[in-house]
Amino acid sequence: MQRRAFIRGLAATGIIGSGFGLSGFARIANAANSISVDQLPKLTGELTLYLGRGEGGLYENVLQAIQDRNPGFKLNIRRGATAALANTLIAEAKAGVKRADLFWAVDTGSIGVVTDAGLAKPLPQDLIQQLSPGFQYPLWSPVTGRIRTLPYNTDRLTAAEIPDSILALADSDVKIGWAPAYASFQSFVTAMRLLEGDKVTKDWLKAINGKAKKYAGELGVVMGVERGEVDIGFANHYYTLRLKAGKPDASVSLAYTNNDAGCLVNASGIVALSDGELPVNFIRYLLTKEVQSYLASEAYEIPLVSDVASPPGLQDLSTLNPPELDLRKLADLRPTINMMRSIGLL
């Protein structure tokens, strides 16, 4: 599926020409049937969206397609780092200034900051029920999912040699790559704190720090694994899948831990900050079959509605065992930052 074709097709007819079959991947169980853009009302009016980093412009393509399909609709976009935009929203609210109608964030920690501040407007039940159980929240809508994984060099390791516990890696002799300053990694550490406690998490970070190679971001981690600079790394799933899509013979594959922070399923999400039907109807577009299919096939993110396949190359979702955790609790980031700073990671 080409990006230009997606924009043209969604804007014109709502049908993506290439289609996207199930190909044996697990469907999102018990979610309502996905909705096509053809079933949605036209958007009319003006909204301002605060947009966190948009996955290399892919979110921008979606937003442009929605605007092209709705000529009576104007979308003003303020772009920035997700955490910085969340802090801006809090500061604006304290100052009595309201500039944003919607906030689309790439991590749930920032979503939690905004909802905890009382800025989010409730969503209608029919919209909430379109999402998979476990991703249904009254004050925000997940858009796509991402799972923490262990990308590993297939010339150096086999899947059987990789422990299924994230904690066990601290005692292993494999060379590890990580990106401690990266927001997704910090959300993962926050999840570990919540699941395992501060002492276990701090001891684990110290142990990994003694053997790990630092990278600026998680794409760099995956590329380092593929080049053989390290044996294994910590990264969201889609970085490996994107690399493999462009280089099918790359010496990298994915391993998953079991029921711990190492296989946490996180999500990008959107919050309505203004009352009325227009912000809610805009969110409905992001949950359509067309948009979810595009983000799954181009961004390699996990769709959260039924009738849309998971991205190619991802292990069958029904075989994974992520921990149960209210994703909004990942907003508790300050103790994580303080912990990482105390041991020299930041």
Phi, psi for residue 146 in degrees, rounded to 5: -145, 145
Residue 329 in tokens: 């609790």
Residue 249 in tokens: 């013979």
Q: Which residues contact 210 (CB under 8 A, 6 or more apart)?
A: none
Phi, psi for residue 39 in degrees, rounded to 5: -90, -5
Residue 229 in tokens: 């600079």
C-alpha neighbours within 13 Å on the C-beta side of residue 316:
8
User: 277-286 vs 58-69: helix axis angle to the nearest 10?
Assistant: 120
Q: Is 239 annotated as a binding residue?
A: yes
Q: Is 238 annotated as a binding residue?
A: yes
Of 312, 305, 298, nearest in space to 7 by CA? 298
Q: In the chain, what is the straight-line distance between the N-terminal and C-terminal CA atoms, in Å?
A: 39
Known binding-site residue numbers for Fe cation: 238-239
Known binding-site residue numbers: 238-239
